Amino acid sequence: MRILLQFPEGLKQEALKHAKVLERAGNEVVISATPTFGACDLAIDEARNIGAEKIVHFGHVEFHHVDFNVEYIPYPIDADLGILERSIEPLKPFRTIGVMTTIQHIHQLGNVADFFRGNGKEVVIGKPYGFAKKNGQILGCDAGSAASIDRKVEALVYFGGGMFHPLGALLMTTKPFLLIEPFQGTVEFIDRYRETYAKRSRGKILASVDAKNIGILVTTKNGQNNMPMAKILKAKAEGAGLNAAILVSNTFDFNSINNMMEFDAFVNTACPRISIDDADRLRKPLLSANELNEVLRIKGELAAKQRA
């Protein structure tokens, strides 16, 4: 069988090892060198182009159904649970807490919950209602298991590596949010980032109120493509008297987009995290769909005042 292997950036150093195992089993193996941002970004076009019969995608579980043979290998990671001891003091004021993690540590979430129960906490683990598949699992683009329990708990706790995943959950919730990062050895509340990103959002909206030309970004990635939304947003913008165009790419090259100097602002319809994490990479505002709607609302109010 001809197989295409696909690894996220953090696991690409494992590619050759796994390729040789599959080759020894009699398979023809090719490794994708293209960046991948998750199970929403499967290398289906590459696989079809080289005649692969299967994609083996490491580091994630199924995001959405695709018309191709894909095997998902989650790649669990055992993080040191000893760091949990350092969370007892900061969590003292809270009786009921919600806990969450990523797919890499979902096998440890039961032990995390048991630790907190053993220290007198009532622990709530949310059920996924979006693209996530496991109780307590969050994705960068899907923090439903956190949002679903926000009203039921006094504080939220994320156990795992980095800021990417907990930031998405933080921005979808309202309660005190403790980040336990076992690889960096940090335990800290990150609530301050809510206001930071709220200010950034308000700034982008106000900077776009005078925009006349809007570029709407659409990706061809199989799990992120949202052309129907792009068409709706284009119609809304044009209905408000703006010039709007749909711009399509697979992976956005922000240097190339910066060369499109006719546009006064851009709107992202791909991964929602692009509007949050990559806004500083463009010279013009990079809006989410909701932020564009707010821009159009403000423009409508200003136009109404001018007519009055």
- Over the stretch 274-299, which tens digit does the pLDDT of each residue have? 999 999 999 999 999 999 999 999 99
- At 100, the pLDDT band (50, 70, 90 cuts) reads very high
- Using DSSP bridges, classify how beta strands 265-268 and 213-219 pair: parallel, antiparallel or unpaired: parallel
Q: Are 99 and 48 in contact (CB under 8 A)?
A: no
User: Half-sphere exposure of 194 toward its Cβ, with a 13 Å CA cutoff?
Assistant: 13
Position 306 scores a pLDDT of 82
Mean pLDDT of the 85-110 span: 97
- Here the contacts of 44-47 (C-beta below 8 Å, separation 24 or greater) are 44/68, 44/222, 46/4, 47/4
- What domains can you pick out in the chain, each with its CATH number? 2-73 (3.40.50.11840), 81-190 (3.40.50.11850), 195-307 (3.40.50.11860)
Residues 6+ apart with CB under 8 A from 14: 7, 58
- At 308, the pLDDT band (50, 70, 90 cuts) reads confident
Q: Are 147 and 173 in contact (CB under 8 A)?
A: yes
Position 222 scores a pLDDT of 92
- At 305, the pLDDT band (50, 70, 90 cuts) reads confident
Position 130 scores a pLDDT of 82
Helix (H) / strand (E) containing 246: strand 243-249
Q: CA-CA distances (angstroms) from residue 262 to 212, 218, 258, 266?
A: 9, 18, 10, 11
Centre a 10 Å sphere on the Cβ of residue 38 and count the other Cβ atoms it contains.
20
Mean pLDDT of the 200-223 span: 96
Determine what percent of the chain is predicted with pLDDT higher than 70.
100
Position 115 scores a pLDDT of 98
Q: Quick check: 2 pLDDT over 80?
A: yes
Q: 292: helix, coil or strand?
A: helix
Q: What are phi and psi of 69, to 5 degrees?
A: -80, 105
- At 272, the pLDDT band (50, 70, 90 cuts) reads very high
Q: Which two tokens stand for residue 218?
A: 């659409």
Chain centroid, CA 55 distance in Å: 22
Q: Quick check: 303 pLDDT over 90?
A: no
Look-up: residue for tokens 């009921």? 96
Does this model's pTM top 0.95?
no
- Over the stretch 58-67, which tens digit does the pLDDT of each residue have? 999 998 889 9
- At 92, the pLDDT band (50, 70, 90 cuts) reads very high
